[in-house]
Structure 1
Amino acid sequence: MNRDKAKRQVKTLLNHGLLLIIGLAWIYPFLWMISASFKDQNEFFKNKLGLIPQNPTFDNVTRIWEKAHFDTYFINTVIVTFFAVFLVLIMTMLAGYAMGRYNFVGKKVVMMVFMSSIAIPLVSTIIPTYEVIKSMKLVGTKLGLILAQAGGAHVIFLLLFSSFFEQIPGELEEAAKVDGCNFFRTFFNIMMPLTKPIATTVVIMETIWAWNAFMLPLVLTLNNPSSRTLAVGLYAFKGENTVDWTGIAAGGVIAVIPIILLFICLQKYFVEGIAGAVKS
């Protein structure tokens, strides 16, 4: 018994040690980015891989925030992300409600079309999206960027909502009809409050995608740098012959902190939403 217990302890210790090494290797680039953001150029090239700055400085953060217009990029990213997430949430929630609760002619065909759109590469949609935004005369504007970010099928979110609404007992809708509720009143007053875990999952995932989007903002803001987002602003630190590594690191820290805080605050609902989707 003692020998078996000792073997189990050794095995557990080895497993934990291996997981710790893998975890450190996984998080090292993030720690390196934070460290590099507090180094000056000379120290960065002398001690590239070190994680502890010898002479920490906030000059990089101050420099990119004031001189590289990161304050404008940050505000643009917040505006675009907020409204894009709002539009995607409302559209996928309403579509998921219709697909999950109602039977209509062509429902399977519509769902197949949505599912097949997953196979379409995002890069192949950039030109059509640009042409649509151009025809609306919104190229280079935040409104055009919001509409472009919110466009698309968002099939994953649609499936999350539709599978969730399918599980809700029909008695709720019947009771709402007896009370005189129409489609929209039933949805907003009864169904929508029940979707909190799924909605939070969608908000987190879409926020991450919209916040970190690069190709669409790059194409749509080429003629108007004042509408750039953080991801496009970071790209500007890479010149033809030089790269401002400490500036990129500082900008990366500024860009990633809001996402980390959002996930920490909403991770409970995120896990509940994923668990609910898996059960369905």
Structure 2
Amino acid sequence: MVMTHVALVVSGLAWMYPFLWTLGSSLKGTDEFFGRGLNPLPSQLLWSNYQQAWEQASFGTYFINTLLITIGTCVGTLLVTAMAGYVLARAPFPGRGIFLFLISATLFLPHGYTIIPIFDLMEKLGLLNSLFSIIIVQAAGGVVFGTFLFMGYFQTIDSELEDAAKVDGASFHQTFWRIMLPLSGPMLATVGLFTAISAWNSYFIPLVFTLARPEQRTLSVGMYAFIGENSTQWTLLCAGSIITLVPIIALFVMLQRFFVNGLAGAIKG
């Protein structure tokens, strides 16, 4: 038991060290950053790095863009995956197995192979260089995974609730919106958290879809403002990384209880 605890502590510190090093480096000066090596502790706290990072890289604008994209992606993904998961769990239809196989196969497609047709589609729809295009693409990317989680969760809920609703005259849609969806709070939090983390940290899609409009970039893309042709502002890059990480870490802390319950329900299903 003691060795298990020691192994867990060592593993935890190993996982935490990169974050602690980045946090410490974000408060260092340039000379100290290169002079202290792997030591994460700064000799003095330079909070001005955060102000400089925020102003130099237009983080205010990028923060709002990232927030709008994350909220839009979460709303779109949750609506589609909750409805699809409920139908697959409670309304068997001919060809259901084939349909599940086909959507499962899309999980194995590398993003690099799909970005060109997606880019071409967005261009033909006139949605390029807009936040809406990023929301659509990222929401679609999380549909399959979220659908399977919701399907597994709905399968764990007793069907007697739906039978009682049918006796009272509720339709299939009314049963979903008024009974099943309110009961799926843990899964809503789980899928929402997965989606939020993915959308918040996404880099490749926002980069490709905002090439012509830099003002619509996200935080992940905006951090490259600290990387020049001849030099990199490492302390500001670390400060920008912490600014990017804090909101999503705070969200996980607030939703972690629902997150664990939702995963447990999906696995049980």
Report the TM-score, using the length of structure 1 for normalisation.
0.91
Residue 119 of structure 2: aligned partner:
130
Give 2:46's aligned residue: 57
Q: Which runs of 5+ in 2 are unaligned?
A: none
Distance 1:207 1:153 in 2: 10
Q: CA deviation at 1:153?
A: 5.9
Q: Which residue of 2 aligns with 1:237?
A: 226
Q: 2:132 aligns with which of 143, 152, 166?
A: 143
Q: Relative to structure 2, which stretch is displaced further, 159-168 or 246-255?
A: 159-168
The 8 Å contact of residues 117 and 153 in structure 1, kept in 2 or not, is answered as: no
Deviates more, 1:179-188 or 1:70-79: 179-188
1:170 — aligned with what?
A: 159
8 Å Cα contact 1:201/1:273 also seen in 2: yes
**Residues of 2 paired with 1:104 and 1:153: CA distance?**
23
Q: Which residue of 2 aligns with 1:33?
A: 22
1: CA distance between counterparts of 2:210 and 2:142?
A: 23
Equivalent residue, structure 2, for 1:8: none
Task: Summarize deviations over 1:57-92 as a string: whole Å, max 9, x none.
Answer: 112110121221011111111100011011001100
Partner of 1:5: none
Aligned to 1:264: 253
User: Which of 187, 190, 194 is matched with 2:179 structurally?
Assistant: 190
> In 1, are the aligned partners of 2:26 and 2:49 still within 8 Å (CA)?
yes
Matched residue SS, 1:51: coil
Identity of aligned residues (%): 42
Q: Distance in 1 between matches of 2:82 and 2:2?
A: 46
Name the CA distance, whole Å, in 2 between partners of 1:51 and 1:169: 52
- Partner letter of residue 203 of structure 1? G
AA in 1 matched with 2:110: P
CA distance in 1, matches of 2:266, 2:21: 36
Q: Counterpart of 2:266?
A: 277
Q: Structure with the greater relative contact order (CA < 8 A, sep ≥ 6): 1 or 2?
A: 2
**Which structure has the greater CA radius of gyration?**
1
Partner residue, 1:255: 244
Give unmatched runs, 5+ long, in structure 1: 1-11
| TM-aligned CA distance change 1:115 to 1:55, over 3 Å | same
Q: Which amino acid aligns with 1:80?
A: I
2:66 to 74, 77, 82: 77
Tell me if the contact between 2:153 and 2:262 (Cα under 8 Å) persists in the aligned partners.
no
What's the TM-score once normalised by structure 2's chain length? 0.95
1:135-167 alpha-carbon deviations (Å, 9 max, x no partner): 121211111111111113632211111122223
Relative to structure 2, which stretch is displaced further, 163-172 or 252-261?
163-172
Aligned with 2:189 (options 190, 200, 219): 200
> In the alignment, what sits opposite 1:92?
81
| Alpha-carbon distance in 1 for matches of 2:38, 2:121 | 45
> Superposition RMSD on alpha carbons, in Å?
1.5
Q: Identify which of 119, 143, 150 aligns with 1:161.
A: 150
The one-letter amino acid of 1:223's match is: A
Seen in structure 2, the aligned counterparts of structure 1 residues 153 and 261 have a Cα distance that, compared at 3 Å, is closer
One of 176, 191, 205 as aligned partner of 1:216:
205
CA displacement, residues 204-262 of structure 1 (integer Å, 9 cap, x when unaligned): 11111111111100100111111101110112322222111111100110111111111
Counterpart code for 2:130? T
Does residue 107 (structure 1) correspond to residue 96 (structure 2)? The answer is yes
Name the SS for the 2:14 alignment partner.
helix
CA contact (8 A) 2:73 2:136 kept: yes
1:234 and 1:89 map into 2 onto residues whose CA distance is 29
Aligned equivalents of 2:130 and 2:123: distance in 1?
10
* 2:57–2:225 contact (8 Å) kept in structure 1: no
Residue matched to 1:45? 34
